[in-house]
Amino acid sequence: MGNKYTIIKPIIVDAKPEVVFKILTEVGKWNLWTKSIKSITLLNKNRFEKGTKVKVVQPKLLSITWEVVEIEKD
């Protein structure tokens, strides 16, 4: 298996955590609010949770499959 990476990007958001979590886990809508994603498809689950795999297609990049390995809900 290839390298594994952890991406952490702290930001301040003026909204309740449950609202932010709901928006961020609506994976099928990511391409509506960011131009860096042409399409995104859930591959093995109906919702965003540990073990979910998604295929991400971005302009000028090869498509990639991401797997959720951990979710922290605080």
For residue 74, pLDDT beyond 70: no
For residue 1, pLDDT beyond 60: no
- Please write the tens of the pLDDT for every residue from 8-48: 888 898 999 889 888 888 888 888 888 889 998 889 878 88
Q: How confident is the model at residue 5, as a pLDDT?
A: 77
- 43 is in which domain, residue-wise? 28-74
Task: Examine residue 36 and state whether it is found in any structural domain, yes or no.
Answer: yes
Q: 32, 15 in Cβ contact below 8 A?
A: no
Task: Examine residue 3 and state whether it is found in any structural domain, yes or no.
Answer: no
Distances (CA, A) of 74 to 16, 20, 25, 27, 33: 11, 11, 15, 20, 24
Q: How confident is the model at residue 55, as a pLDDT?
A: 93
In Å, the largest CA–CA distance within the chain is 39
Whether this prediction's pTM lies above 0.95 is answered by no
Type of residue found at 45: K
Q: How confident is the model at residue 16, as a pLDDT?
A: 92
Task: Examine residue 62 and state whether it is found in any structural domain, yes or no.
Answer: yes
